[in-house]
Structures are given as structure tokens and as C-alpha cells.
Structure 1
Amino acid sequence: MSLLVVRVLAKAFGGVQAVKDVSFHLEAGEMLALIGPNGAGKSTCFNMLNGQLAADKGSVLFDGRELIGQRPRDIWRLGVGRTFQITATFASMTVRENVQMALLSHHGELFSFWRRASHRHGAEADRLLDRVGMLHQADRACGVLAYGDLKRLELAVALANGPRLLLMDEPTAGMAPKERVALMELVAGIAKEEQVSVLFTEHDMDVVFAHSDRLMVLNRGEIIATGSADDIRSNDLVKEVYLGGGTTFDTGREMKSHA
């Protein structure tokens, strides 16, 4: 049985159908890229999967358990991690303290006052920071970090609940090319070694083709193609959609905007 099974998921805003009858599955340890032009409905789809938006209809089964109707924090506690296009960290806290806050939430200790929060789960926080290459910056304030380091920290926070499913909305946005490659190599390693399923959106096709096991293409709220990188490169409808948006396929391995 697939870890994640999505069936006929739909969401409209007024008269605009943002997501229309989207169905797909995701296996344990698989990296699935959800791509498409701006406004295709990718973020809306993500926000329904983790409960930030209520779906108009459809089903989202995570390990056989229905997620539709559950609150984001309850979905998080079931083992669904999430990163965002814009990093969400506490700038005045240290790197370690940000991870400790996530661990306190995971262990249900946010409102426990027996010990100072900074004294809790330090070793576990350091293990996660070491996993993402940020242990050497554990005592630095987040407000002074470079953007690429913030993205790594956000990944450590997302891993604090020991997720089986990781939702990553444009994880490399705003990063330099070398940082993008390094981050996605790290995520791919975690996916394979720990059998974490990863669903991610991304505009950098170098990243998508290099690190996804399968791709889905969303356009105007509907999935128009699913398959391997080679399948997507050769799909006439996908090429037509992107060409219409000022984007072309490179003959080798990437799809770049020429707008």
C-alpha cells in the first residue's frame, strides 16, 4: 500500500478552480516532484495536504488514515513535515533553540514549565543539526544566517517530528546554484536512508530532473502528465504548456525560462 494516496482533491476560490480532481500516490522513500507554471495550483495542493486549507472535496490518506478535516498540528504529529517557500524561523533565537522548540512541540512539552526550554532536548537538536550540516552554527542567532543556511535549518526543524512524509514547497528558492544542489542531495539522502517520502515543488529543472524519482505536471489545477524525467521531457502537452509560458526544454537535461 502506498504511504500517501490522494484522490480527486479539489479547491475553488470563488469562480476560480485552483485544484481540480487531483489524484496521485507516493511510495515510502520516493521523491515526487510537482511542477507547473506559476498559478498552476501547486501551493494550494500542498496547503490542503497538511490541513492549512480545507478541501472542497477529495481524500488524502496517509498510511491509511484520512487527513482531510484534521488540523495542521495534528497532521504534523502524525509524521508529516513541511517546509515553505519563505523560511519560517525565529530570528531572535539561536539555531539550536529553533530546533529545540520543534522538539518540544513534538514531545508535547510546549506548555511545561518544569525546566527552561533551552535545557531540553539539546542532544537531539544537535543530532538533527549535524544531519543537515548546521551543528557548527548551533549557537548563532538565526537573524544573522545566510539564506541557504536558513533553508538547512528549516529542514532540521521539519525533521524534528521524525516525519515519514516531507512536503517541501520550493525548497531551493532564493538559493545559489551550488547551495541548491547540496540541499537536494541532502534531502535525497535522507529520503533513501530513512525511507522518508518527499513531495516537492520546484522551478529549477536541473534540481527536478536530478533528484526526483517521478514528476507530476500541474496546469490550471489539473495534472496533465506523470512519469519519469524522460517521459516529461518528451511529452508534447507539457512542452506546449511551457512554451506558451515562455519556457522551452533544453535538448539535454533542463527546462529554462527565456522570458
Structure 2
Amino acid sequence: MATLEAEALRKSFGGIEAVRGVSFAVQPGEMLALIGPNGAGKSTCFNMLNGQLRPDAGRVRLAGRDITGLAPRQVWRLGVGRTFQVTATFGSMTVLENVQMALLSHHRRLGGLWTPVRRMDRAPAEALLARLGMAEQAGRPCGILAYGDLKRVELAVALANDPRLLLMDEPTAGMAPPERAALMALTASLARERNIAVLFTEHDMDVVFSHASRVLVLDRGTLIAEGAPAEVRANPRVRQVYLGSGAMQGGY
């Protein structure tokens, strides 16, 4: 069974149809990339999947369950983690405390704020940070971290929910090329280990073609191509509307 199924999703803002009948599925352990030019509808799709926007039409199913229109907190409870284009962490709290907060939410133990964090077992958060190469940063406030490290913290927070589906909106934006490759290689490894379905948007085509199992291409709200990275890269329409003529000579 597919982890996520999007069926004929539509969303308009005023007279502008941002997403037009988009359908796709993401399988357990798969790294599925959703790409397209700015304004193609990628973020709108993500926001419908995550419950931040309600579709005008269509359905979203998680492991066969209809989650269309559920609030983001309800979607989180069902096992959907998300990272954002601009990192979302508590800047005054340490790396460890950010992950502990996510673990508390996962276990529904958020009665207050600081008291539960201080009392909970540190070991699960420390183990997760160690897996992400962030053990040495555990005691540092997020507000002083380098941007690449913040991206790893945000990934740790999403993984603390033990998700079956991970939504990553431009996960490598603002990172240096070596950091981008390392983060996505780590994500792919975790997806395989934990059988997590990953759907990500990305403008760095090196990242997409190196790490995606399959690629979806949106243009003006319409799904115009779907397939293996090599297929999509060779698709004439995709080259025309997004990749450019450089793809024909072997570039991205």
C-alpha cells in the first residue's frame, strides 16, 4: 500500500488555479522529488498534503486513510513530519531541547513547557542527534547555529515524530553544495532504514537527480511529467519549461 496518495487535487486563489487535478503516490522508503519553476504549485501541493490548506477538490490519503482537510496537528499525530523552506526551530532553546520538545509532542506529554523538557529522558533525543551528526551541538542554542546545522536540527525534529511520511520543502535551500549532498544522502539512508516515504521539493537539480527515486514535474499547477530521474531529464517538455537547453548537453 502506498504511504501517501494524492488524488485529483485542485486549489484556486481568486481566479488563479494554482493546482489543477494533480494525482500521485509515494511508496514506503521512496525518495520522490516534486520539481518545477517558481509558481508551479509545489508549495500549494505541500500545504494541502500537510493540512495547512484545504483542497477545493480531490483527496489526500495516508496509508489508505482519508486525511483531506485535517488540521496540521492532526496530520502530525498520524505520522507526517515536515521541514520548511525557512527553518523553523526555537532559537533560544538548545538543539537537544528542540528535539525533546518534538518527542514530548509525539508522546502527547506536553502539559507545560520547561518542566516536561527538563524531566524527560535525554537518551532518545541524544541518540537521534548522534545519528544526524549533531551530538556535539546538542547543548548549543539554535539561534547561534550555522544554517546547515539548523537544517539538520529541523530534520531531527521531524524524525522525532517517528513519521511514516516526511515532507521536505526545499531542504537544502541556503546550504553549501557539500552540505546539500550530505543532508540528502543522510535522508535517503534514513528513509531506507525506517521505511519512510519522502516527498521533497528542490531547485538544485544535482540534488534531485542524485537522490530521487522518481521525479514529478509541475508547471502552472499541472503535472507534466513523472518517472525515473533519467526519463524526466530527457523529457523534451521538461527541458523546455524548466531544465533548459543545458540538459541536452548533459547539464542540469
Q: What is the TM-score when the length of structure 2 is the normalising length? A: 0.96
* Alignment-derived partner of residue 251 in structure 1: 249
Over the aligned positions, Cα root-mean-square deviation in angstroms equals: 1.5
In 1, Cα distance between equivalents of 2:201 and 2:21: 18
The question of whether the paired residues in 2 share the 8 Å contact of 1:33 and 1:201 is answered with: yes
* Alignment-derived partner of residue 14 in structure 1: 14
Q: Shift of the alpha carbon at 1:248? A: 3.5
Compared CA separation, residues 81 and 113, structure 1 to 2 (3 A):
closer
Match of 1:139, SS state, is coil
Correspondence list, 1:1-259, <5 A: 1-112=1-112, 115-242=115-242, 248-249=246-247, 251-252=249-250, 254-255=251-252
Match of 2:215, SS state, is strand
Compared CA separation, residues 120 and 59, structure 1 to 2 (3 A):
same
Compared CA separation, residues 49 and 116, structure 1 to 2 (3 A):
closer
Match of 2:85, SS state, is coil
The question of whether the paired residues in 1 share the 8 Å contact of 2:53 and 2:69 is answered with: no
Compared CA separation, residues 114 and 136, structure 1 to 2 (3 A):
closer
The question of whether the paired residues in 1 share the 8 Å contact of 2:234 and 2:247 is answered with: no
Q: Shift of the alpha carbon at 1:118? A: 2.1
Q: Shift of the alpha carbon at 1:250? A: 5.6
In 1, Cα distance between equivalents of 2:52 and 2:128: 26
Residue identity matched to 1:225: A
Q: What is the TM-score when the length of structure 1 is the normalising length? A: 0.94
Q: Shift of the alpha carbon at 1:119? A: 2.4
In structure 2, list runs of 5 or more residues that go unmatched: none
In 2, Cα distance between equivalents of 1:121 and 1:49: 32
What percentage of residue pairs aligned between the two structures are identical? 62
In 2, Cα distance between equivalents of 1:131 and 1:200: 21
Q: Shift of the alpha carbon at 1:51? A: 0.1
The ranges of structure 1 where at least 4 consecutive aligned residues each deviate by more than 3 angstroms after the TM superposition are 112-116
Residue identity matched to 2:94: T
Match of 2:208, SS state, is helix
Match of 2:166, SS state, is strand
Task: Describe the superposition over 1:151-202 as per-residue Cα deviations: whole angstroms up to 9, x where unpaired.
Answer: 0000000001100100000000000000000000000000111111100000
Aligned length: 252
